[in-house]
Amino acid sequence: MIDYHIHTPLCNHAQGSMEAYIAQAIEYGFSEICFFDHLTLQKSGRRLSMTPDEVPLYFMTVQGLKKEYQGQISIKVGLEVDFHPRKVDEIKDILEPFAFDVIGSSVHFAGAYNIVSHKSDWRHGKLETEKIYRLYFEYLTLMLEHDYFDVVCHLDLIKKFGLRPKWSISKEMDNILQIIHDKGLILEINTSGFGHPAGEIYPSAAIIQRSRELMIPVTLGSDAHKPQNIGRYFDKTLSILTAAGYQSLTVFDHRRPSQLAFK
């Protein structure tokens, strides 16, 4: 089994050393993991991402760990890049010197609004739900106009705190999935939502079903910020994937995807 979304202390809000995550993954019997730490260029209060200057340290550290644990577990290195419409060229410049295995992109800010922080106005219900959802889909659409990434992370993260619009998002989501399909991108199945107020996987089982109908490949990540959270909720998630018709997960090597059967 694989876990393609593991954070490190460099993001400034994860616990445990990289070696601790690796040791836990080996203990759990994982064949491959991917460090997938945050790169966020939007400034908003406390820093919850590595800085661009730390990217070389991050990359080279994982390269050393790949060699150290060779034969015990396969270790890949990626980045979860937070989309910023005015920082795309800067993002590309940061990524260009490094042979990352995979790059993901995600939306944590709908415009100026932080949709993931427990301290945010969004979390405390101080913003108009419909307005933030519309902004979120606008930013997802803008993100998908670019080509610096391979994986779309936690697609419906907007629901993290259990806030839902009065209208169905199925039409907007279907448009997004069609773009993902047309661009040949991979959809991340992120299990952390089971531990959030949303109470369900990112994306939802219904979206996963539609993704399968469109033949969009998927990868799987726990979004672990603690070593013990590696592989969290994977059993129930694999049941959802199997029910939707998936039989394999996407893995990467130097930005090249391949399929790994899980049945």
Domains in the chain, ordered, with CATH? 2-261 (3.20.20.140)
In the block, tokens 């399968």 appear at 212
Q: Which residues pair with 261 in a beta bridge?
A: 248
Specify the pTM: 0.95
Question: Residue 168: exposed, middle, or buried by beta-carbon count in 10 A (0-12, 13-18, 19+)?
Answer: exposed
Peptide bond into 165 cis (omega under 30): no
pLDDT in tens, the chain (263 residues): 999 999 999 987 889 999 999 999 999 999 999 999 999 887 765 666 889 999 999 999 999 999 999 999 999 999 999 999 999 999 999 999 999 999 999 999 998 899 998 888 888 888 999 999 999 999 999 999 999 999 999 999 999 999 999 989 999 999 999 999 999 999 999 999 999 999 999 999 999 999 999 999 999 999 999 999 999 999 999 999 999 999 999 999 999 999 999 86
Using CA atoms, how far apart are residues 40 and 202, in angstroms rounded to an integer? Answer: 20
Using CA atoms, how far apart are residues 133 and 129, in angstroms rounded to an integer? Answer: 6
